[in-house]
Amino acid sequence: MNQQSLHEIEQIVGYKFSDHELLYKALTHSSASDNRLASNERLEFFGDAILDVVICQTLFERFPDYLEGDLTKIKSTLVSRRTCALVARRLGLEKFLEVGKGVADSRALHGSGTGRALPGSLAAGLLEALVAAIYIDGGFEAARSFILKTFASLIDKANAQQAQGNFKSVLQQYAQQELNITPIYQVLDEKGPDHNKCFESEVVIAERHFPSGWGTTKKQAEQKAAFNALVELGILEDSFTDIDH
């Protein structure tokens, strides 16, 4: 791997290494090394623990009202191999992993035209090894900064999924933490007889009006309006539809 590639990785992760040999080891799979101790396996083991600590601390501080079970569910989603692989792919790290011929042939066979697709376990291990390399080279705060920068949106989405319909609570947490403001809900319309009314509500955050939502109660309409706002803000994907409560 040349210096240009190492510099490109540093730009992607937002951290400049003092020890480029450490970075190179993080990017070397055991299949590409004659000695497994010279590969990223040990770094992967260490990085998994660092990631776990940072995510746990972040969730503990960010959600003071959540019980242990709620925190565990969110944490499990965030530190899973699937999520770590997703982060590695989003950052475009896959192409930098040095692999042996067998893995390279498999990657080319199952890849997406570029021949660079990695199995999820390898992509996840790459991210964990990189976390450990940053920690060893720059300390805990450097590793923590990298993790929080790359997992920020995923923490929001994992929390929204865990909320299971309490979208008002998720939106309020986001608005207060990120914008230092509380969302305002407004009833725009109501239809039907008194015994069978429907309500239309919208949410306003910092004078920004989000798509409205309808419900058979004001509470339900507000939940749907909060859901629409979370989707528009990119915190939640438009696939969580169980909000009729």
**Radius of gyration from C-alpha coordinates of the chain:** 22
Strands 184-191, 198-205: pairing kind:
antiparallel
- Region label for 180, one of left (φ > 0), alpha (ψ between -120 and 50) or beta (otherwise): left
Token pair belonging to 132 = 């450990």
Percentage helix, strand, coil, to 5, in the chain?
Answer: 65, 10, 25
**Phi and psi at residue 28, in whole multiples of 5°?**
-115, 115
DSSP category for residue 195: G
What angle do the packed helices 120-138 and 81-91 form, to 10 degrees? Answer: 80
Q: What are the residue ranges of helices labelled H in the chain?
A: 3-13, 20-26, 41-62, 68-78, 81-91, 101-110, 120-138, 140-163, 167-174, 218-232
Select which of 8, 10, 19, 48 is catalytic: 48
Per the CB < 8 A criterion, the answer to whether 85 and 124 are in contact is: yes
Beta strands 208-209; 198-205: pairing state: antiparallel
Name the amino acid, one letter, at 159: N
Beta-bridge partner residues of 215: 199
Judge whether 128 counts as a catalytic residue: yes
Of the candidates 44, 94, 128, 156, the residue annotated as catalytic is 128
Side chain identity at residue 222, one-letter code: E
Residue 9 has phi, psi (to 5 degrees) of -65, -45
What residues are labeled active site? 48, 128
